[in-house]
Amino acid sequence: MRDATVVRWTLVMAATAMIATGTMAGEPTAPVPLTELSAAERDARIDGDMAAVKVYRDGLMDTVGYALSQTNLFPAGKLKENRLLRREQREAIWSTWQRFLDYELALDAVGQYHAEFHRLRAPTKQRSFAIRYAAILAQYRCALDWIERVENDPDLDTVLNEPVPELGLTAGSYARLKYRFLHVGRASEFAAFDVVWKWYGDDLAGALAAGMGADRKRIWAAGKGTGQALTAKNGLKIVTSKGFEAYFPVQAGVSAWMGDMRVWRKNRSLIAPDQIAAMLPKLEPGDILLERREWFVSNIGLPGYWPHAALYIGTPEERRTYFGDDALETRLRELYPAAYAQHLKPQEHDHVPRVLEAISEGVTFTTLEHSADADAVVVLRPRLPKSEKAEAIRRAFHYAGRPYDFNFDFRTDAALVCTELVYKTYEPSTAMTGLTFATEEMLGRPVMPANLIARMFDTQYGTQSQQLDFVLFLDGHERAERAVEADLAAFRASWKRPKWHIVKTALTDVRD
């Protein structure tokens, strides 16, 4: 942990599915229960999880809202005739479906972590319950909205149940969603939660209260809250029973986490510190890093094997040596004095910042030792003159300190996602050739998943349009519990790996 900000934005989630026994070495450990945390740690976790639920609900509502607006894909009324969807339409549907499931999974995980809320003392108990109930409400409400629209077209049932390995979608995922949320016991469970909620009161829900009220209203209006008459006593018994715990293995049995905390693999990443040290002499200011952490849900809702991108800026001394003068340093100090001073400050273990990246805390200066503490890293070098790389670094400093864009919207500079920082740093202009990156539409917005950079490199390699050079690739091997230096061919094929590359088998025992 670098500072308190990280603690506040550690959007930690409980594991939602167990990896099949014996399928891999170095299985993750379970998160520390709330009851075993110190008071300060517990308060920080509660605050972080409240923020997490709001982010995930907003993302889920945004996804459902987009689906409802795309009547060409998701018809607003019952179709009288079957239709034959084009490939591009199916891909748009799958992309939206994958994003929907990612947010459902995230809510499921954070809600499951608070299943033991009743073991806490007031007022922490009520706050933990609010997190659990808010997560369940958002899941339930959005699932009902989704199912209601999808059922207008019988063909969508087929499309959404298809396996799409590159997106992590398993066969029958829509059928499992319907079973879970249209199950005969779900209404009773919702009614039980609602009774306990009224008993506890909603004064401790904070920023979650408005969303919870809207979700409760929608569920009751849908007629799904017609459980048996309950008292607070038997309502609490239902919501704390083990029978209510539900697995949601929509992503091939992965343990899902998000933010700046992970499921520790014996307290280390696959890339070792000595491998990071060996990287350093090979790097140049302006290099682009693609990174992967196996046990994160990084950039949740975005597809592909590579979820994160960062910009290597080097130290002032490295930049002076590389560019041959002090001109860039003078500009950076004059234009961005606060950011320049910030990037000089040593961080954990007195390592100096060499990387600028957009993470949950915002656009932040980090050390290579921190950024490359991952399970796979590739370094790509723009085929640009040094003068343009200097300008790119100048642009990057311009964005330092801006918040992280949880909406992944490239159309605004007010907040940035990781790949957006790289995209806008190297964006072509009248004075700069720059790099031309491809984007794709997601929920009606232009985005550039990090995996798209890898795909672009593979497509352009060996042609006159090639924009990046391959520098190195450290490829994680989970069974061996280490990363190995891989070749160009391995990297070129990496973008084709599924999102949950590490998971070799899906759960077949789906229970609600």
For position 254, what pLDDT does the model report? 31
Per-residue confidence band for 22, with pLDDT thresholds at 50, 70 and 90: very low
Give the residue, 239 or 153, on which the prediction is more confident.
153
For position 81, what pLDDT does the model report? 82
Does 282 have pLDDT greater than 80? yes
For position 300, what pLDDT does the model report? 60
Per-residue confidence band for 321, with pLDDT thresholds at 50, 70 and 90: very high
For position 30, what pLDDT does the model report? 53
Does 297 have pLDDT greater than 50? no
- Contact between 154 and 137 under an 8 Å Cβ cutoff? The reply is no
- Ranges 197-201, 255-259, 326-330: which has the least confidence: 255-259
- Could you give the percent of the chain with pLDDT greater than 70? 78
CA angle 466, 468, 474 (to 5 degrees): 130
Does 502 have pLDDT greater than 60? no
- Cα–Cα distance, 396 to 421 (Å, whole number): 7
Q: What is the CA radius of gyration of the chain?
A: 24
Cis omega (within 30 of 0) for bond into 123: yes
pLDDT per residue as tens digits for the range 143-182: 999 988 998 998 898 899 888 776 667 788 888 888 778 7
3-state secondary structure of 194: helix
For position 221, what pLDDT does the model report? 83
Does 15 have pLDDT greater than 50? no
Please give the model's pTM, rounded to 2 decimal places. 0.66
Q: Helices then strands (H, E): number in the chain?
A: 18, 9
For position 5, what pLDDT does the model report? 28
Total residues found in the chain within this entry: 512
- Cα–Cα distance, 277 to 474 (Å, whole number): 13
- Contact between 456 and 438 under an 8 Å Cβ cutoff? The reply is yes
CA angle 487, 488, 494 (to 5 degrees): 95
Does 257 have pLDDT greater than 80? no
Per-residue confidence band for 387, with pLDDT thresholds at 50, 70 and 90: very high
- Could you give the percent of the chain with pLDDT greater than 90? 41
Residue 225, both tokens: 């809250």
For position 35, what pLDDT does the model report? 86
Q: Which residues contact 443 (CB under 8 A, 6 or more apart)?
A: 62, 63, 66, 96, 99
- Contact between 161 and 173 under an 8 Å Cβ cutoff? The reply is yes
Looking only at the bridges linking them, the beta strands covering 288-292 and 376-382 are antiparallel
- Looking at 208-352, which runs of residues are DSSP E strands? 288-292, 308-312
For position 304, what pLDDT does the model report? 78
Residue with tokens 């290597």: 312
Which of 3.30.70.100, 3.50.50.60, 3.90.1720.10, 3.30.70.3270 would CATH assign to domain 273-494? 3.90.1720.10
Q: Where are the domains of the chain?
A: 10-244, 273-494
Residue 342, both tokens: 């910030």
Q: 291 pairs with which residues across the strands?
A: 308, 377
DSSP string, 391-443: HHHHHHHHHTTPPB-TT--TT-SSSB-HHHHHHHHS--BTTB-------EEET
Average pLDDT, the chain: 79
Residue 37, both tokens: 């945390």
For position 18, what pLDDT does the model report? 25
First vs last C-alpha separation in the chain: 36
- Ranges 224-233, 305-314, 348-357: which has the least confidence: 224-233
pLDDT per residue as tens digits for the range 193-207: 888 888 887 677 888
Characterize 387-404 residue by residue with b for buried, 16 or more Cβ atoms within 10 angstroms of its Cβ, and e for exposed: ebbbbbbebbbbbbebeb
Give the residue, 512 or 374, on which the prediction is more confident.
374
Give the residue, 139 or 109, on which the prediction is more confident.
139
- Ranges 67-71, 88-92, 178-182, 501-505: which has the least confidence: 501-505
Residue with tokens 């500009």: 331
Does 510 have pLDDT greater than 50? no
For position 500, what pLDDT does the model report? 56
- Cα–Cα distance, 6 to 24 (Å, whole number): 30
Q: What string of H, E and C letters represents the secondary structure of 41-78?
A: HHHHHHHHHHHHHHHHHHHHHHHHHHHHHCCCCCCCCC
Mean pLDDT for the stretch of residues 440-444: 74
Does 354 have pLDDT greater than 70? yes
For position 260, what pLDDT does the model report? 34
- Residue 286, sorted as left (phi over 0), alpha (psi -120 to 50) or beta, turns out to be left
pLDDT per residue as tens digits for the range 241-252: 544 444 333 332
Mean pLDDT for the stretch of residues 251-266: 34
pLDDT per residue as tens digits for the range 96-134: 998 898 888 888 888 888 888 888 888 898 999 899 999
Give the C-alpha distances (Å, rounded to integers) separating 450 from 47, 87, 368: 29, 23, 18
- Contact between 280 and 368 under an 8 Å Cβ cutoff? The reply is yes
- Contact between 50 and 212 under an 8 Å Cβ cutoff? The reply is no
For position 225, what pLDDT does the model report? 53
- 194, 196, 200, 203: CA torsion to nearest 10: -20
